[in-house]
Amino acid sequence: MGAVVAALRPATGQLSLCDMGFLNALPNRYVTPRRAALAAGCLIASWFLYFAGWGLRAEFTHDDLMNCHRAVFYPLPRLLGDIVVWFRPSYLYRPLPELAYRLFFNLSQFNLLPFRAFLTGVMGMNLFLLYSFARRLTNSRETGILAALLGAAHINISTYYFNTGQIYDIFCYFFYFSALVYYLRIRQQGSPLNWRQTLIFCGLYALALDSKELAVSLPLAVAAWELLHAAPGWRLRAWTGYLRRDLLPLAAAALMTAAYVPGRVMAQDGIAAAPGYKVQVSLAAYLEKTGFYLGELFYAPEWFDARRTVAFALLLLAAALWTRSRALTFCWILFFGGILPMAFIYPRGLTAVWIPTAGLLIYGAYCAAQLREAALRRLGGQRWRPVTQVALFLLAGYGMIQAHTGIRIRWDSWQPEYSSIRNLRESLIRCCPTMPRRASMLFVTDPLNETYSTVFLVQLLYRDPDSRVDQLFRFERPLTPAEIASYDYIFDFVDGKLIRLDPIEYARRAARAAQTGPR
């Protein structure tokens, strides 16, 4: 253990040259740091696009129908107001992605290709932000490249590619790390943020909050960085000036969080009242959910029980403190503190905690880079650094290829949902190319597995939120013949096909069935 910890310590001096003369004579012109970084960037981009490219063929899901319906028919002035006034209670808990839904649906309706291309671009920028943040945090381009490689793809975040409803997490990640990178870029220059820079930082934070509630951990991340990298020591006078001069952005972000949580999360109609978001705070719940997400990350479902989760957390913390690595300590806080907003509700997939998971990715990348550097020091060959960096990158890439398999299986698993929604939409267009305003319709057999998706789809297809779309299974009593005959349209779903029925004839059949009664 001591050898490993010693290897993680940052190098404090120049590496010694190899004493073997023939090694000193070998040229390094073919493996320069710039060429290696460029090649690594191209390989990471290719790896990312291999996975994300599947998403360009994604179609509407049940989540998309619900989200899009909510966004398209919500009053636009109020939607924009909810984005600007990010802390007020709103029917749209996350209004910024809803605006994207609205814009792209107005642009291309049910053709998701433009929307998916846009989201692929945002995910690509998120990957670059991960690289930028890791490089600034560790002062190591190699760590940034390795972190980007680790974060470029994961089978358990494949819903990013196949379900556009993950836009909330994608947007939140973008604005969260945009704010962090912007903040670090200024603070690492040794100066506090001025009022204009503070407004930009707070604006990015507000957009992250408008995207998803997971962003509330941003003040914790900023506070951790300040305490680890910029705290002035133990002199009271120094702390007084530091608090007044340097921590204004942190204080502003904390006040924003204090307004956002009761206003949009915990309000009477806030997201905490929605099904699946009921908060249950306890240590057992934290360990259970954290272990679940660790299992998702390491492809070890149900392996991280409470004891193993505690042991894993303590091991990472001990290594960070023993090596006195501020970067590793920050990464530990980013994961185990940043996961708090998701640790006390019903568990989601790994996509829901991809922001704090960045802490573990950077932690692993930094350890790998430092171990490589320690091995190089032991061999005493500074001029071999580019070669060993390339070797480490290729080894990590090979490990990623071996670990992340099964993307086609995940793609195939979404086909029934895609096809059922597509078939209903195409069948409705064939049966009724147009629909009068405020039309009433009844679905005898629901084609989308007795969900509200049928209602959302019909109203979106005909752009009429006032149309009446009833589903027979929702009625607690049988409809009378008169009630059936009052509908403008009646549809049934038989053998995978949508059939349009005559309301009068169907009402007569219902009347005869009622008179005959069950045999």
Residues in a beta bridge with 440? 468
Q: Which letter, b or e, does each residue of 78-117 get, where b requires 16 or more Cβ atoms within 10 Å of its Cβ?
A: ebeebbebbbebbebbbbbbbbbbbebbeeeebebeebbe
Q: What distance in Å separates the CA atoms of residue 268 and residue 449, rounded to the nearest whole number?
A: 31
For tokens 């939140």, name the residue.
172
What pLDDT shows up at residue 27? 42
Whether 7 shows a pLDDT value over 60: the answer reads: no
Q: Residues 114, 117, 118, 122: what is their CA dihedral angle, to the nearest 10 degrees?
A: 170
What pLDDT shows up at residue 239? 65
Tokens of 367: 């350890």
Region of poorest pLDDT, from 29-33, 221-225, 335-339: 29-33
What pLDDT shows up at residue 37? 79
Q: 69 or 384: whose pLDDT is higher?
A: 69
In 3D space, the residue among 375, 284, 309, 400 whose CA is nearest the CA of residue 44 turns out to be: 400
| Neighbour count for residue 318 (Cβ, 10 Å) | 13
| Planar angle of CA 229, 233, 238, nearest 5 degrees | 110
What pLDDT shows up at residue 36? 76
Whether 339 shows a pLDDT value over 90: the answer reads: yes
Give percent above pLDDT 90 in the chain: 72
Give percent above pLDDT 70 in the chain: 91
Task: Calculate mean pLDDT across residues 122-142.
Answer: 96
Edge to edge, the sheet with strand 440-443 lists 468-471, 440-443, 489-494, 497-501
In 3D space, the residue among 331, 329, 336, 333 whose CA is nearest the CA of residue 290 turns out to be: 336
Task: Calculate mean pLDDT across residues 482-486.
Answer: 92
Residues 12-42: tens digit of each pLDDT:
333 333 333 433 444 455 666 677 778 899 9
Residues in a beta bridge with 499? 492
What pLDDT shows up at residue 155? 96
Region of poorest pLDDT, from 25-29, 32-36, 117-121, 364-368: 25-29
Mean of per-residue pLDDT scores for the chain: 89
Whether 448 shows a pLDDT value over 50: the answer reads: yes
Label each residue of 313-352 as H, E or C: HHHHHHHHHHCCCHHHHHHHHHHHHHCHHHCCCCCCCHHH
Q: Is-contact 9 88, C-beta < 8 A?
A: no
| Neighbour count for residue 298 (Cβ, 10 Å) | 14
Task: Calculate mean pLDDT across residues 490-502.
Answer: 91
Q: What distance in Å separates the CA atoms of residue 113 and residue 441, rounded to the nearest whole number?
A: 31
Dmax (CA) for the chain in angstroms is: 104
Q: What distance in Å separates the CA atoms of residue 140 and residue 7, rounded to the nearest whole number?
A: 16
For tokens 């650094």, name the residue.
385
Region of poorest pLDDT, from 151-155, 178-182, 252-256, 375-379: 375-379
In 3D space, the residue among 153, 262, 260 whose CA is nearest the CA of residue 208 turns out to be: 260
What pLDDT shows up at residue 468? 95
What is the enclosing helix (H) or strand (E) of 443?
strand 440-443
Residues 271-318: tens digit of each pLDDT:
887 877 888 889 999 999 999 999 999 999 989 999 999 999 999 999
Q: Is-contact 166 352, C-beta < 8 A?
A: no
Q: Which letter, b or e, does each residue of 56-71 get, where b requires 16 or more Cβ atoms within 10 Å of its Cβ?
A: eebbbbbbbbbbbbbb
